[in-house]
Structure 1
Amino acid sequence: MPLPNDERLVALANDILLQFDQLFGVHPGYRPAHAKGLMLIGTFTPATQARSLTMAPHILSASTAVTARFSNSTGLPEIPDSAPESNPRGLAIRFNLAEHVHTDIVSHSTNGFPARNGEEFLGLLRAIAASGSEVPSPKPIEQFLGSHPAALAFVQAPKPFPSSLASDTYFAPSAYSFTNDGGETRFGRYRIVPEEGNDYLSDSEVIGLAANYHYDELAERVTIQPIRFHIRVQLAKPGDITDDVTVHWPEDRELVDFGTIELTEVVPDSVVQQKHIIFDPIPRVEGIANSADPLLELRAAIYLVSGRRRRAARVQEQESELTAGAV
């Protein structure tokens, strides 16, 4: 996918990436956020009910191959799974529609997002970076949160440690426009719910976690039985705000069954493939389109710039390996 023609948007994407680099350091070949992760493959089976919502190709097909990546927060590839900063966890799902044709869902385990646009998010990152332990109160982050109630609510929202990444619920923060074959359009947000239900660890259990607990557990679990999630779409009612990720819709909004993903194995070369794959928050398929959420195009630009940097680092790594082998 190409970069957007909007130079201001691309500049903002680069500014945010540079701020992540300042916060977490530069780790060639890894994402600047959600660096630590694991990829699995499996199958998506659409729900019959989803045809009332959209005519998207993966809803009209009997099944679609999927690639899913679980991840920890931060840009630290070696962050321990017990670190509070590893939450919220991420789950990105790629629906492989044909060769080089796909649509993705990008989600995380806290409902919502701390900023409604890129400028606000950059301000949050800069406030965090300027608030070291040596900085007296009120620190820049304290001032930012004091003047941005949505960011404060996100920071204060519970972020429990799941007993397994397969037993947590994930939310795609942005709304999308869904259109069925009758031309009816409704706005909705994805919600990815574990088939076995949510299950979380106590504080004492978290303290004793091994550094790679969640990914070792996930890799072992999938050898015993498939990991299943149900994808649902929370539908907006007329008047609900659809262009602001910081605004929650009431829980009484209708949930439509979209389908089920069944993950069956870890990608054999998961580390290499994670460096290559670039997820896209923009649907780019018939029947599902962007809302007016300003973060969607920005996130797509950030993911693309980050992905190109990651792939370039992988090429340099391969060239270094070849040079070393020739000596």
Structure 2
Amino acid sequence: MKRLLIGVAVSALSAVTLPSVAQSNTTAMEMVELFEKLSGKQPGIRKAHANGLCATANFVPNPAMSEYSSASIFTQETVPATIRFSMGSGNPSADQRASGARGMAIQLAGPNGELHNIVGNSTPIFAAKNPDVFFGLLQTLLPGENGQVDYAKVGQYIATHPSTQPLAQWQQTTNPPYSFGTSKFFGLHTFYFVNAQGTETMFRWHITPDAGERLITNEEKAALPAEFLNNHTTEQFNQDGISFTVTATIGQEGDTTNDPSQAWPTDRDTIEMGKITLTEIGGDACTPINFDPNVMASGFKASDDPVLRMRSPAYAISFGKRLSGQ
């Protein structure tokens, strides 16, 4: 249960300008310190999504996206990308057979040094509606004086905080992916496209593997080694290649913009943003990157989501600790 819920974590960030939203009672430093308590001190390691696999890729945009966004990444034939797949927790030796969130973080390198980050999880919704409820959920996972997690207390918290229930149900019923290249990923938060005329269109992105989604069975799970996910991903890349389609779901009036624990209705229109094809797997290209999802190219805008707002200062603190060996 502990691994399941920590797997929906936030990772490493940098400060950016964000929309004005209601202040959280939980500070970014408190959030990072709580992750350190849950996973133990891991000097020089990401405080969440610690166990990862890096890759390089090309992003081929859909030219039709220029109707929605003036972003330069949609005017190029190909955009270089750095990608990091990961487990959700702050444990660098996380067992990849464990249920819970997998992460996919993408940094697109646009022209003239402009960067655009896309960060998501394999979970279709976030663990809670805001940082305070998420912080409270994680606190229930801290071991007591006997060194054990009181799962009755965890269950009681989930029962009395409805926004934590959709993800808890998803984690209990969804097995891990066979490969990072056979997993879906979801952006969780609402963003806006901004076109040349200044028109804003709200959206949530998701990524689907072109090879199709494949999860491991319970029988496979029992027989696989702890590092199977990295191994399967590398094998898939070497044998068949790995590619994904990035899609934007277009929101409508009344769809939530500030609660990532709520999914949008499934009948919303979608548009393909482009395709990502891996060109190399492994290496250390991801090490110096802070995959803050609020780092966006012009032609995009962040929403008033308080969890999205929290990510920048929390990622910045984690990133600073990592660079300084803390």
Q: Is the counterpart of residue 40 in structure 1 residue 55 in structure 2?
A: yes
Q: Is the counterpart of residue 232 in structure 1 residue 247 in structure 2?
A: yes
**Alpha-carbon RMSD:** 2.4
Greater CA drift, 105-114 or 174-183: 174-183
Cα deviation for residue 225 of structure 1 reads 3.9
SS in 2 for 1:275: coil
Cα deviation for residue 189 of structure 1 reads 0.4
Contact map agreement 2:128 2:163 (CA 8 A) in 1? yes
Task: Identify if the C-alpha distance between structure 1 residues 100 and 255 changes in structure 2 by more than 3 Å, giving closer, same or farther.
Answer: same
Contact map agreement 2:24 2:306 (CA 8 A) in 1? no
User: In structure 2, what residue type is equivalent to 1:278?
Assistant: N
Aligned to 2:9: none
User: In structure 1, what residue type is equivalent to 2:157?
Assistant: F
Aligned to 2:81: 66
Distance in 1 (alpha carbons) for counterparts of 2:112 and 2:320? 20
Contact map agreement 1:146 1:152 (CA 8 A) in 2? yes
Deviations 1:261-304 (A, max 9, x none): 11110243x2xx44321111114321110111111221111111
Greater CA drift, 229-238 or 133-142: 133-142
Distance in 2 (alpha carbons) for counterparts of 1:138 and 1:226? 41
TM-score by length of 2: 0.87
SS in 2 for 1:17: helix
Task: Identify if the C-alpha distance between structure 1 residues 249 and 223 changes in structure 2 by more than 3 Å, giving closer, same or farther.
Answer: same
Contact map agreement 1:91 1:108 (CA 8 A) in 2? yes
Distance in 1 (alpha carbons) for counterparts of 2:91 and 2:145? 18
Distance in 2 (alpha carbons) for counterparts of 1:39 and 1:138? 34
Aligned to 1:280: 292
Match of 2:257 among 242, 265, 283: 242
Where does structure 2 lack aligned partners over 5 or more consecutive residues? 1-13
Task: Identify if the C-alpha distance between structure 1 residues 133 and 257 changes in structure 2 by more than 3 Å, giving closer, same or farther.
Answer: farther
Aligned to 1:319: none
Distance in 1 (alpha carbons) for counterparts of 2:149 and 2:56? 48
Aligned to 1:82: 97
Cα deviation for residue 220 of structure 1 reads 2.8
State percent identity of aligned pairs: 27
Distance in 1 (alpha carbons) for counterparts of 2:112 and 2:104? 22
**Quick one: higher RCO (CA 8 Å, sep 6+), 1 or 2?**
2
Q: Is the counterpart of residue 94 in structure 1 residue 107 in structure 2?
A: yes
SS in 2 for 1:151: helix
Match of 2:206 among 179, 191, 212: 191
Aligned to 1:14: 29
Distance in 2 (alpha carbons) for counterparts of 1:99 and 1:211? 42
Aligned to 2:119: 106
SS in 1 for 2:107: strand
Alignment of 1:1-327 (within 5 A): 1-2=14-15, 12-84=27-99, 87-98=100-111, 101-129=114-142, 139-157=152-170, 158-268=173-283, 270=284, 273-313=285-325
Where does structure 1 lack aligned partners over 5 or more consecutive residues? 315-327
Distance in 1 (alpha carbons) for counterparts of 2:229 and 2:101? 13
Cα deviation for residue 258 of structure 1 reads 0.3
Distance in 1 (alpha carbons) for counterparts of 2:146 and 2:219? 26
SS in 2 for 1:129: coil
Number of equivalenced pairs: 308
Instruction: Tell me which structure has the larger Cα radius of gyration.
Output: 1
